[in-house]
């Protein structure tokens, strides 16, 4: 019988563990929907104990929220009202919104679609969209129907993001990017107008 192996300390990397749990959660929520996913499945895919998922995220709802939002910085921080149309166009054109159909892009779309059937998940999605985009845009533009106008901007963002990143439609992906940028700016300006 060989001698027992000495205990080798397990290297711990909290950031990598957290990212592994978020990646597993995104895959599960995208493929199975919020209601069908348990913390045990997510933990198993991430190679961690289910209690660790709870310790890092608190609850399934909080994990879903973070999987949905990611670690994005405030997208509308310190943006002047007159700069909003160009800034919103830049969110689509400049910050990683490629026309490449990737698993990550499809997962984001599928999380949104699958969350619609869950009252709990759809409320989390609505709250996140309001807190991250609609509310800040409405406060920045003010005036009559500010939330409606901000919601129209969100519809443009989501629609264009889906067309470019999940569907990769040629007209939006292979044309002149500056023409697309200018058209998006005009579209956002129209949605924001009083």
Q: Kind and range of the H or E element at 95?
A: none
pLDDT at site 74? 66
The low-confidence residues of the chain, meaning pLDDT below 70, are 1-11, 71-74, 95-105, 164-172
In this prediction, residue 63 carries a pLDDT of 93
Q: Cα–Cα distance between 193 and 142 in angstroms, integer? A: 11
What tokens were used for 38?
């348990």
Counting beta carbons within 10 angstroms of the beta carbon of residue 84, is it exposed (0 to 12), middle (13 to 18) or buried (19 or more)? buried
Q: Which tokens in the block code for residue 137?
A: 């845009």
The terminus-to-terminus CA distance of the chain in angstroms comes to 82
Please report, rounded to a whole number, the percentage of residues in the chain having pLDDT higher than 90: 47
Alpha-carbon span 164 to 111, nearest angstrom: 17
CATH homologous superfamily, domain 14-69: Homeodomain-like (1.10.10.60)
For residues 146 and 159, what is the distance between their CA atoms, to the nearest angstrom? Answer: 20
Q: How far apart are CA 65 and CA 87, in angstroms?
A: 25
pLDDT tens profile 3-40: 444 443 444 788 889 999 999 999 999 899 999 999 99
> Looking at residue 76, what DSSP letter applies?
T
């Amino acid at each position: 019988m060989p001698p027992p192996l000495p205990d080798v300390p397990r290297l711990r990397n909290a950031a990598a563990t957290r990212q592994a749990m978020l990646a597993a959660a995104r895959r599960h929520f995208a493929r199975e929907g919020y209601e069908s996913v348990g913390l045990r499945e997510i933990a198993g895919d991430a190679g961690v104990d289910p209690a660790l998922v709870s310790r890092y995220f608190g609850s399934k709802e909080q994990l879903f929220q973070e999987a949905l939002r990611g670690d994005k910085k405030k997208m509308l921080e310190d943006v002047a009202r007159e700069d909003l149309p160009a800034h919103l166009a830049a969110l689509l054109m400049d910050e990683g919104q490629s026309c490449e159909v990737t698993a990550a892009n499809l997962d984001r779309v599928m999380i949104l679609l699958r969350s619609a059937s869950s009252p709990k998940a759809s409320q989390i999605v609505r709250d996140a969209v309001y807190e991250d985009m609609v509310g800040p845009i409405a406060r920045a533009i003010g005036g009559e129907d500010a939330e409606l106008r901000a919601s129209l901007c969100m519809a443009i963002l989501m629609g264009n993001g889906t067309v470019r990143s999940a569907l990769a439609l040629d007209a939006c992906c292979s044309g002149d990017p500056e023409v697309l940028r200018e058209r998006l700016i005009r579209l956002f300006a129209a949605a924001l107008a009083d």
